Amino acid sequence: MNFFSKLLVTAGLVAVLGFTQAAQARVQIIDVCYDFSCKTLQQVVLSAEEWRSVIGWFYPAAPTAAEERERLRQAVGWLEVVIGRHTPTHRDKGLNLEKNPEFPGQLDCIDESLNITQYMNLFQEQGHMRRHRVVDRAYRKAGFDAHWAGQIEEIETGERFVIDSWFQDNGMLPYISPSTDWFDVTDLRILSFGIQD
């Protein structure tokens, strides 16, 4: 068997194993925070089919860490949509600052960061994230602006990245940035990200 044939067989096995893992998805029970500072904590039961639709973003496995971060964005955005079918979080608006919104389901950065961290922990524990590990949430304060976000670390380089969905409406892709950029509040663009994707 020549090199090219071996490469094709290896790639095929990786794809089959990834598909098998996604196909073996099971019911997931997830606690979801909303209504600011996790005032409401609702347990959501996702069917195996719903969970498969989320983890499918990770298969076949990403060839690079940058590609895995992009797939993580897709998986988190889609998971927010799926969770929103079971909770009032489908109404969540990005950049919301009001503490007493007129309708339930709004998330502040505390809710968003706790939820994203929990989602990423599930992805990691089940082996869907291979090039990153989940680390403590990121926190920054600049004047009156205090902000939380989920955070991951690239295994190979140790570089950390913030994943932040507070700036977007429910289900839109979260912002991902190197943590060093996110912590640098001298760049005013980092305080309020524009809509991505």
What crossing angle do the helices spanning 65-84 and 48-55 adopt, rounded to 10°? 150
Element (DSSP H or E) covering residue 52 = helix 48-55
185, two tokens? 């509040």
Q: Which of 76-85, 95-104, 146-155 has the lowest mean pLDDT?
A: 95-104
The predicted structure's pLDDT at residue 142? 74
In the chain, the N- to C-terminal Cα span, in Å, equals 44
Instruction: Report the distance separating Cα 170 and Cα 147, nearest Å.
Output: 18
With 70 as the cut, is the pLDDT of residue 21 above it? no
Going from N- to C-terminal start, the domains of the chain cover: 3-191
In tens, the pLDDT along 40-98 reads: 999 999 999 999 999 999 999 999 999 999 999 999 999 999 999 999 999 999 988 77
